[in-house]
Structure 1
Amino acid sequence: MRLRALAVGTAIGTVLALGACSGGDEPAGTAAKAATTVGSGEGALNLVALPGHVENGGSDPRIDWITPFEERTGCKVNWRTPRDAGEAAALMSDRSRRYDGVSAPPEIAARLITGGQVAPVNPGLVDGYKRLEPRLRNLLKRADEFYGVPYLWGTDLLMYDTGAVQPAPHSWAALFDPAQAARYSGRLVVRDSPLVIADAALYLKAKDRKLRITDPFSLTPRQLDAVAKVLERQRPHVQRYWKQPAEGVGAFAGSGAVLGGATPYQADVLGRAGRPVQSAVPDEGVTGWMNAWMIGSRAEHPNCMYQWLRWTISPEVQQQAAEWNGAAPADPQVCARDTGRPAFCGAYRIGDRAYLDKVVFVHAPAKECGTGTGGGKRNCTDYTEWTRAWIKATKLAR
């Protein structure tokens, strides 16, 4: 099966220019109630689906989890593929539309919840829900309500050429510490996304405890400035900032890159091609993302939507969707089945709880970020400020 990079999963930092996406039948901050029963399907299902999340054989005749669903349920699936997560949020916020569900990345999930654009899910109505990774299920828990069903997830790692990089790196310092980065000057690759700031923040969290970084996605102005300085010092040593996964693969395959930030998908592709590369989990931990299916608060076909939730976490669909998108399935038991692929499962660390515990999952950087040491509100930086800092550090640095 041809692996296909999931645009939103691997280029997650290209979105978040969402503005104040609000509106809908429910006032902002008011959510619809969770269903208590599921009846007969209404015959149709209208979805907002990220690239690769809905496949009916049109991309590859072997990749089709829509046709079997329609045959089993009688729910005809229609979907809109947004350009990015920002457009997905806008579609769900459009008062003139009544989408039944959306495959939401973490950048917009919280916004959809607080804006009342999605309804809570009743896990008891979703067969197989308890098979999903508990850590993933809790990412969308608010108070006693769950606002989505996990679908796919992934992480950002270190990747290195085993012949050129010795000893094997075990810390983000290999990429962000100026002295260590200089050892491989001109042969580093870094993802071109402001969210790389969070990876550098993990490095600084361990390197400079006086900064008091706790959450790499919630940085004060002082903390963000410190991370920006790290990125500015790194810039002269970077060969390429990659946007599409293939660019990072190409840098290692033919442009002399030996060390960089990467995804399990890229390491898997290069490894299967016989390249001498390995991925490493830094001691400081890694950042990650999870995409989930969420129910629209104005859903026109809620029964079909619940049937869709059940279908998307069935072992067959989980395996197909994960392999097609180059991501990990939310159900780790996929790899315990006879049809599980050992090489794929190992590459994506599926079922590795110790690894999953090290992952700091993405949430959108926001101005308000909890309370400070004195009990007052803690002011942080939002994604607009992150974007400015990223551009200044990586595009304008001299």
Structure 2
Amino acid sequence: MNVPLVLLSVFSLMALIGCDRSLEPGQDGKSGSVRTLHYLTWSDYVSPELIGEFERMHGAKVVVDTFSSNEELLAKLQGGASGYDVTVPSDFMVSIMAAQGLLAELDPAAVPNMALLEAHLEHLAFDPSHRYSVPYFWGTVGIGYDSAVVSPPPDSWEALWDERYRGRISMLNDQREVFGAVLRLLGQSMNTTDPLVIEAAKQKLIAQKPLVKTYASEHYDQLLASGDVVLAQGWGGPVARAMADRPSIRYVVPKEGGTIWADCLVVLRSSRQKALALTFVNFLIDARVAATTSERLLFAASNREARALVNQEVRDNPAVYPPAELIPRLEWMTDVGKAMRLYDRAWTELKMR
């Protein structure tokens, strides 16, 4: 087909119907092409059905790419990966990305569902006014255990040092979370920058290592469900999944306290589709959409209205929706700045033993 003739036909048609029409919702101004949104997220956070619903609603195309850790996300962006619009860093990574100028400021008027956040998610230290981020899902880190084997029920992080369960204990493959558990056990903040405290935590972890079957941040729910481990440090959601396969599995946040976490939706400063990106963020935290995702992932939705829409079994599971009285015993992980080198060194020394 002759391209000039096609263009001439288009211009003639525009002249007949008027050329001052605004763009259709699904167009980006470039030859009427469909707008494309690039979404960089955790590997299990994507629901093809919900992505398809958004695409139909807004005449857009969503292209999904994934990462497996906050460090991988940051490295990808620092390494020059471009073209992404929306991503999902965890709490402490939000402040790091904001400090590096990677994030766009959010327009609250474009994200009205931000007004429906759970009370304890409204003013967070890493982004107090939600200038750059909005919590998406949240939860806790505690201990998953097999109540048919572990007796009495554990109520302290010290249970992960119990010689009776040698070779049947798993720890997260996450240096901040592993150190966070032992630091709380020692009566310290998981965000300490004191070299002597970090060293003491390292020594206690070295003493524990012969008891540990594996350091795993993925599939430890399967280890619990299969009985290969009977005590597992972990995020509540995967432990809840293990409960479905092995009803004797239980979950507890120890008396010393533990981590509260939130994965947050952000728009990248380099985004070329900021308006569409904000619409997408608002869609993801809509009560109905968030409730659907909460039931699938077994993580707590940030939208307080979503809780009532989740089925009761999920809503009443403390591994998914922590009870309100637990919140004061939880601590947010924060950026420890230059002290991160101390944690890196201690973690390397632990893993090399």
TM norm structure 2: 0.81
Identity between Structure 1 and Structure 2 (%): 21
- Flag the 1:54–1:240 CA change in 2: closer, same or farther, 3 A: closer
Q: Which of 179, 196, 212 pairs up with 1:222?
A: 196
Residue 377 of structure 1 corresponds to which residue in structure 2? none
1:386 alignment partner AA: Y
Check whether the contact 1:140–1:148 (CA below 8 A) recurs between aligned residues: no
Measure, in 2, the Cα distance between the counterparts of 1:141 and 1:106. Answer: 7
**Which aligned pairs between 1:248-259 and structure 2 lie closer than 5 A?**
248-251=221-224, 253-255=226-228, 257-259=229-231
Deviation at 1:90, TM superposition (A): 4.2
- Flag the 1:92–1:75 CA change in 2: closer, same or farther, 3 A: farther
- Flag the 1:52–1:140 CA change in 2: closer, same or farther, 3 A: farther
Deviation at 1:343, TM superposition (A): 1.4
Residue 203 of structure 1 corresponds to which residue in structure 2? 185
Q: Which of 376, 389, 396 pairs up with 2:346?
A: 389
Residue 16 of structure 2 corresponds to which residue in structure 1? none
Measure, in 2, the Cα distance between the counterparts of 1:191 and 1:47. Answer: 26
Check whether the contact 1:70–1:77 (CA below 8 A) recurs between aligned residues: yes
SS in 1 for 2:215: strand
Q: CA RMSD in A?
A: 2.7
Check whether the contact 1:49–1:102 (CA below 8 A) recurs between aligned residues: yes
Q: Which of 256, 278, 282 pairs up with 1:306?
A: 278
After superposition, the C-alpha distances for 1:346-385 in whole angstroms (9 at most, x for unaligned) are 2244273222333222334322xxxxxxxxxxxxx21x43
Check whether the contact 1:93–1:117 (CA below 8 A) recurs between aligned residues: no
Measure, in 2, the Cα distance between the counterparts of 1:66 and 1:327. Answer: 19
Residue 361 of structure 1 corresponds to which residue in structure 2? 332
**Which aligned pairs between 1:1-398 and structure 2 lie closer than 5 A?**
42=28, 43-56=35-48, 64-82=49-67, 84-93=69-78, 97-139=82-124, 142=127, 144=129, 146-176=131-161, 181-195=162-176, 196-205=178-187, 213=188, 215-244=189-218, 246-251=219-224, 253-255=226-228, 257-337=229-309, 340-347=310-317, 348-350=319-321, 352-367=323-338, 381-382=339-340, 384-396=341-353
Deviation at 1:53, TM superposition (A): 2.9
Deviation at 1:87, TM superposition (A): 4.0
Deviation at 1:248, TM superposition (A): 4.7
Measure, in 2, the Cα distance between the counterparts of 1:189 and 1:67. Answer: 37
Check whether the contact 2:146–2:248 (CA below 8 A) recurs between aligned residues: yes
- From the two aligned structures, give the one with the greater helix fraction: 2
- Flag the 1:221–1:121 CA change in 2: closer, same or farther, 3 A: same
Deviation at 1:202, TM superposition (A): 0.4
Measure, in 2, the Cα distance between the counterparts of 1:91 and 1:187. Answer: 35
Measure, in 2, the Cα distance between the counterparts of 1:316 and 1:130. Answer: 15
After superposition, the C-alpha distances for 1:317-343 in whole angstroms (9 at most, x for unaligned) are 212322333422112322313xx2111
1:365 alignment partner AA: V
Deviation at 1:282, TM superposition (A): 0.9
Detail structure 1 runs of 4+ shifted over 6 Å in the superposition.
Answer: none
Check whether the contact 1:120–1:147 (CA below 8 A) recurs between aligned residues: yes
After superposition, the C-alpha distances for 1:114-172 in whole angstroms (9 at most, x for unaligned) are 11110222323312212112333423654655211111123211122223322222121
1:197 alignment partner AA: F
Check whether the contact 2:139–2:235 (CA below 8 A) recurs between aligned residues: yes
Measure, in 1, the Cα distance between the counterparts of 2:130 and 2:280. Answer: 20
SS in 1 for 2:337: coil
Measure, in 2, the Cα distance between the counterparts of 1:73 and 1:166. Answer: 54
Aligned pair count reads 321
TM norm structure 1: 0.72
- Where in structure 1 are there 5+ consecutive unaligned residues? 1-38, 57-63, 206-212, 368-380
Check whether the contact 2:110–2:278 (CA below 8 A) recurs between aligned residues: yes
Check whether the contact 1:107–1:363 (CA below 8 A) recurs between aligned residues: yes
Check whether the contact 1:242–1:248 (CA below 8 A) recurs between aligned residues: no
2:158 alignment partner AA: A
Residue 11 of structure 2 corresponds to which residue in structure 1? none
- Flag the 1:160–1:100 CA change in 2: closer, same or farther, 3 A: closer
Residue 59 of structure 1 corresponds to which residue in structure 2? none
Residue 20 of structure 1 corresponds to which residue in structure 2? none
Deviation at 1:94, TM superposition (A): 6.3
- Where in structure 2 are there 5+ consecutive unaligned residues? 1-23, 29-34
